[in-house]
Structures are given as C-alpha cells and as structure tokens.
Amino acid sequence: MDRNLQDVIDLLDLEQIEENIFRGQSRDIGTPQVFGGQVLGQALAAASRTVAGRFVHSLHAYFLQRGDVAAPIIYEVDRARDGGSFTSRRVVAIQHGAQIFNLAASFQAPESGLEHQTRMPSVAPPEELPDIVELAQGAAELPDRMKRFLNFRRPFIVKPLDPAQFLGGSRLKPTKRVWMKAVDRLPDDEALHTALFAYLSDYELIGTATLPHGLHATRFGLQMASLDHAMWFHRPLRVDDWMLFDLRSSNASGGRGLAHGHVFARDGRLLATLAQEGLIRERKPAAAG
C-alpha cells in the first residue's frame, strides 16, 4: 500500500474511547488549518462505526470553525434513529471544548428500485492527461504555498481536463472537470471507500467558484473556507477507480461561493452528487506607509 494513502486510511481509523465517542488525529497538508475533507471523512467514519448492514446515502455538514492540526478531534455520535429501512446519525466534532463541525447522515440497506440518471459528459480519458504534479513541474513559476500544498496531495491522482483551471490567472467559465482516484488499490470495504470519497470531495469543489474571477486559492490573496457540504451517494463506488468530477458554480455573492456537481464512474454510472458553499474573501493589499 502506498505510504501516503495508508496515512489517510489511518486517519479515518478512529480510536474509540467510549460508546459513540471517537478520537481522531490530524495531518498538516500545507493549509493553515485542518483540511475540511479530513473532518468530513472522519465524521462519516465515526457515524458508520455505529451502523451495521446499511450504507450512507446522504449527508449534510456544517463547518463551524477552523480545526487545530496539533490537537486531536473528538467525534460524538448521536444514534438519532434506527428505522425499518433507514438509519439516521448526528455527529458533533469537538476540539478545545468547542464544536468545530457537525454532520447529519442517513444510511439505507441496499434495495432495488426505479433507475435513471443524468448522462456523463464526453471527455478525454485520464490516460491522455497530465496530473497536477506534472503541471506544476512544467509551470514557469509557482508560489511556495502551492508547492507545499502539492507535496501533501499524493494519496490521490488529480488530472484536470483544463490545465488553466489549475494554474490560475485567467478568467474562465465557472465549470471544472477533473479525473481523480487513489494512487493504490484498496480493500473491498464500502464504508472505507465512502469515507475516503468524503475526504476527496473537498479537493476541488469550492475552487470552481473562483474561476470567473481569475483567482486561485494557492496563488492569490484569498481567504477561503468551507461553510457547508452536502453529498448524495447514488451507487456503490470505489475511490481506487477513476472518477470524473463534473463541477460548476452557480453563484458567488455576499463573500460566499456556491458549487455543485456530479461524479461519474468511468463506465458512465452516476455515483454521487455534491454541493458546497464556501467563504471567499479577497484580501486587499496593505496601503503604502
């Protein structure tokens, strides 16, 4: 198993310290606070540890304040309901005695039913595209913040369809298509794959809202932070297979940006739908003198 991918898996393997109470650690991935996808994945992992025979089909989460990378995070799971078909869980993440995050998730036993889905767009296959590390190596100049950020992103391969969206500096349409997958093969554990997917889902989504403004989180003076995150899981998924993230932003206003998208398997199956609102504030340079 790739060492960096195993490190993410270890982060999601929470320590149980009491019934319904779990403790997770954090990793510095080059951002000034705990990566939002880590907290999302750990909270989902905590909820899943209290559910048997059912798998998450939707979750809704709020990021209340930034997490401290140097301190553990406590996850308290409320077993809200165990019904005949669905199970509901609420999770509160606590650090330094204060709530930093909360999540509501619903789980369902597998069953068959009516099916239809939106069609996957026609795009170049991932084998024909460079990943973000190759793009960074080919760029004339990159800020130290971006270089440091890239050094921590090797658990997953990220291949954007349009390199300009990654490099920043140009005003582009508020759409983004990216192939992503884990760097190594993973066990056949659906709960693990969904928790890793939750982790991965925070990589590229809200950055879509900066594209029309020619800005990039790691290149320009931006304050960006996740405010909420919603996900709907439509079909079983594997994060060690290529997935196409078809993302778009419908609005930016009031210091916030909204992004949403569909995630497809390589064979065209719609795996999940995502939505996220994030804080986006442009930092103004200090006045001379």
Whole-number pLDDT of residue 139? 64
Tell me the average pLDDT across 55-68: 97
Say if CB 264 and CB 241 are below 8 A apart. Answer: no
Q: Name the active-site residue from 26, 42, 106, 202.
A: 202
Please tell me which residue in 26, 95, 226, 249 is annotated as part of the active site.
226
Domains and CATH numbers, the chain: 3-109+126-282 (2.40.160.210)
The answer to whether residue 144 is catalytic is no
Scanning the chain, the segments in alpha helix (DSSP H) are: 3-12, 36-48, 132-138, 144-151, 163-167, 190-200
CA dihedral 118, 231, 167, 285 (to 10 degrees): 130
pLDDT on residue 156: 94
Pick the closest to residue 203 from 230, 226, 234 (CA basis): 226
Give the per-residue pLDDT at 289: 43
Q: Of residues 263 and 210, which shows the higher confidence score?
A: 263
The mean pLDDT value for 226-246 works out to 97
Is 25 a residue of the active site?
no
Q: What pLDDT shows up at residue 153?
A: 64
Mean pLDDT of the chain: 91
Higher pLDDT, 169 or 117: 117
Q: Using one digit for the tens of pLDDT, what is the confidence trace for 46-61?
A: 999 999 999 999 999 9
The answer on pLDDT for 207 being more than 60 is yes
Question: Per the residue annotation, which of 38, 165, 201, 276 is the catalytic one?
Answer: 276
Task: Tell me the per-residue pLDDT of 115-127, one tens digit each, with 9 for 90 and over.
Answer: 999 999 999 999 9
Polymer length of the chain:
289
Number of H helices, E strands in the chain: 6, 12
Lowest mean pLDDT among 69-83, 113-127, 146-160: 146-160
Give φ, ψ of 46 to 5 degrees.
-65, -45
